[in-house]
Amino acid sequence: MLNLHISDMTCGHCVNAITQAVQAVAPGATLAFDLPTHHLQVNGATDHNVIEAAIRDAGYKPIRQN
């Protein structure tokens, strides 16, 4: 499980863009978004660095949380 804080994730468009970016590199991953807290939980992805890089490439700034 990967927990991320993405402060610039604010709307449905952001959710769609991040979902597409993550699914492109980890097709089996499931994502749980909490827009009010800017939190994303990714399950089923093995390489967390690849997930974070994909989100950054989509234009967002993920910060890993424990």
Q: So what's the pLDDT on residue 46?
A: 82
Amino acid at 62: P
Q: Who's near 44: CB < 8 A, 6+ residues apart?
A: 26, 28, 29, 30
The CATH code of the domain that includes 60 is: 3.30.70.100
- Total tally of structural domains belonging to the chain: 1
Range of the domain at 60: 2-65
The tokens describing 44, both together, are 């089923």
Note down pLDDT in tens along the chain; length 66 residues: 999 999 999 999 999 999 999 999 999 999 999 999 999 999 998 899 999 999 999 999 999 997
Q: So what's the pLDDT on residue 45?
A: 82
Distance CA 41, CA 34 (A): 9
Q: So what's the pLDDT on residue 62?
A: 98
Say whether pTM exceeds 0.85.
Answer: yes
Cβ contact 60:14 at 8 Å: yes
